[in-house]
Amino acid sequence: MRLTGPAMRLTVLIGESDTWHHKPLFTEIVHRAHRAGLAGASVFHGVEGFGASSRIHTSRLLSLSEDLPVAVVVIDTEDRIRAFLPELDELVTEGLVVLDPCEVIRYTGRGGSGGSGGGAADGKDGEGRR
């Protein structure tokens, strides 16, 4: 897949303990984004935060929080991201969903994996091979 220039960043902020059919919600979002053929998705664990409930969740030992913040970030073209949003309507019952325009400068996959992450726009992999 080739992706350079204007793009859209989808960020879904949820709790680490949020689930979908007994699996972590962040895992379900990433797998659905992959099935939808989106350019890429990553999950980032937070160490502290609060949301609509105004309750602070922290990783500090004294608090021993079980619901740390998690951010799922997905990047693709605006059309493809907007087409994916109905999937989130079904999945995300609590949390925050944000769209930001962004610009992709470089999008290359690791060499030889042949995954949907594709290679660089010049047809070479991350090692400069074709």
| Contacting residues for 24 by C-beta, under 8 A, at least 6 apart | 16, 18
Cα–Cα distance between 130 and 116 in angstroms, integer? Answer: 16
Cα–Cα distance between 55 and 34 in angstroms, integer? Answer: 32
- What confidence score (pLDDT) does residue 65 get? 60
Q: What is the DSSP letter of 69?
A: E
Q: What is the pTM of this model?
A: 0.77
Query: Does residue 112 sit within a domain?
Result: no
Query: Does residue 128 sit within a domain?
Result: no
Query: Does residue 124 sit within a domain?
Result: no
Query: Does residue 89 sit within a domain?
Result: yes
CATH code for position 47: 3.30.70.120
Tally of domains within the chain? 1
Query: Does residue 54 sit within a domain?
Result: yes
pLDDT, greater one: 59 or 114:
59
Burial of residue 85 (CB within 10 Å: 0-12, 13-18, 19+) is exposed
pLDDT tens-digit series, residues 78-124:
999 999 999 999 999 999 999 999 999 998 877 644 444 443 344 44
Alpha helices in the chain (DSSP H): 25-35, 78-91
Cα–Cα distance between 124 and 118 in angstroms, integer? Answer: 9
Query: Does residue 115 sit within a domain?
Result: no
Query: Does residue 80 sit within a domain?
Result: yes
**Structural domain containing residue 76:** 5-104
pLDDT over 60 (residue 75) = yes
pLDDT tens-digit series, residues 8-55:
999 999 999 999 999 999 999 999 999 999 999 999 998 887 777 777
Query: Does residue 95 sit within a domain?
Result: yes
